[in-house]
Structure 1
Amino acid sequence: MILLRNLAFYLFFYPGSLMLSFAAAAASYVRPAWVKPLCDAWSDWHHWCVTRLLGITIRETGTRPDYPALYAIKHESFYEAIAMAHMFDHPAGIAKAELFDLPGWGRAGIAYGLIPVARDQGASALRAMLKAARPAIKQGRPVVIFPEGTRIPHGQRPPLRSGFAGLYKLLRLPVVPVAVDSGPIYRNTLKPRGTITWHFGEVIEPGLERAEIEARVHEGINALNAPERLD
């Protein structure tokens, strides 16, 4: 059954993704207002394929605040990146600047309201992020970041990227650490049934020193990150 479920997933999700991606890229040129609903539809389509075709259960624990916040999320697989627009209401995701150079995708990402970050530009990159994030914050949109900077295998706990603390200081937003345990299921080519949990941790107030905010966020995003069992 795992082969049939995965075959159905790949046959349905990827052709649908191509159509919606091309539509969003085209809309970024002719009707930018359509980009958001098309991107949301792509994320919703992914959620349907994951839950209905793969048979994966998505569970949410903890409590989200009802005010703008910076969500610092564990990144174990492509799952959480695609699921972002389904899990949050028009998130202002922070993404590496190189992605915005991709034909079509870059314009669509800007039209959606994503925030590019040039990791090699230090303080100037933080100022650019702050400028891009301010309109989203005024609109009440959640700001979303993967503070480890890249996908991390389940069970590993690398330090946060240095830019996270600077962004936290500049944005002056409360932080919600979010633990996600998608790695053991979604990172596989053949994705087994199981449960992916999003755990929203305790809200962390703005204004903390760098060492404290990094320690608390690091602990929070790794709350579900027990090493994989080999037996």
Structure 2
Amino acid sequence: MNFVRSFLFALIFYPGTFLYCVMALLVAPFGRAPLRSIVHGWSLFHYWLVHNVLRIRFEWDGEVPEGSFLVAVKHHAMVEAVDTLRFAKTPIVVMKKELVDLPFWGWVTRIYGVIGVDRKAGASALRDMMKRARKAQAAGRPIVIFPEGTRVPKGATPRLRSGFIGLYRMLKMPVVPIAHDSAYVWPKGFVKKAGTIRFKVGDTLPPGLSREEIEREVHEAINVYARET
């Protein structure tokens, strides 16, 4: 049944995503508000399919606060990346540049507001990320970042990337760390498993901590479930 559900999810989600992209491009000339409604509608569409087709439930421990925060999320799979648009409420998402450059979907993300990072560009990529992040901060939008830099397998707890530390230092924003265990039901590959994804919102961390302190606190908070393995 997991294969059948995964097949139905792909059959509906990817054509549906294309249609949402077309709608977003059509409303883009009319301002950001209609575009954001389409993007958030797409996130709710994804959530509905995950809930009703894949039979995956979300269980939350804590709430994500609204406002200008740096939201540091553990990254195992696509599911939490898409759902940030729902639970973080109009965020700017830091993602790899390859995704931002995709046809249709990439165009929509650029209009909506994302920070595309070229991980091979070094210091120039960090400067560009800071410039875009300051604009998001000025607009009062949360900034979602996956501080480990990329998706990691179940149980992996790599060190945090320098991009997260750079944003924290330069923007002086409080950090909301979020742990989850999506890797159990959304492993790498085509087949997803029915089950429950647990999310845990950690204590909000203030700006101004030392590099050692913020790395330790965020690393510990986002790996609550990883340590269970």
* Same topology, TM > 0.5: yes
Aligned mates of 1:22, 1:118 — CA distance in 2: 26
Alignment check: 8 A CA contact 2:64 2:88 kept:
no
Distance 1:214 1:10, change over 3 A: same
Counterparts of residues 1-231 of structure 1 (less than 5 Å) = 1-28=1-28, 30-33=29-32, 34-187=34-187, 188-226=189-227, 228=229
Secondary structure (helix, strand or coil) at the match of 1:119 reads: coil
Instruction: Give % identity.
Output: 42
Task: Tell me whether 200-209 or 128-137 shows the greater mean CA deviation.
Answer: 128-137
Aligned mates of 2:145, 2:209 — CA distance in 1: 18
Can you list the C-alpha shifts for 1:10-51, whole angstroms capped at 9, x where unaligned? 3322221221123334544x4453332221111110100011
C-alpha RMSD over aligned residues: 2.0
Relative to the length of structure 2, the TM-score reads 0.89
Alignment check: 8 A CA contact 2:64 2:87 kept:
no
Secondary structure (helix, strand or coil) at the match of 2:133 reads: helix
User: How many residues were matched structurally?
Assistant: 227
How far is the alpha carbon of 1:180 from its aligned partner? Answer: 1.7
Which amino acid in the other structure matches residue 224 of structure 2? A
Which amino acid in the other structure matches residue 38 of structure 1? I
The answer for unaligned runs of 5 or more in structure 2 is none
Aligned mates of 1:66, 1:27 — CA distance in 2: 26
Which amino acid in the other structure matches residue 225 of structure 1? A
Aligned mates of 1:83, 1:37 — CA distance in 2: 15
Secondary structure (helix, strand or coil) at the match of 1:93 reads: strand
Alignment check: 8 A CA contact 2:185 2:193 kept:
yes
Which amino acid in the other structure matches residue 124 of structure 1? S
How far is the alpha carbon of 1:80 from its aligned partner? Answer: 1.0
The answer for unaligned runs of 5 or more in structure 1 is none
Aligned mates of 1:95, 1:132 — CA distance in 2: 12
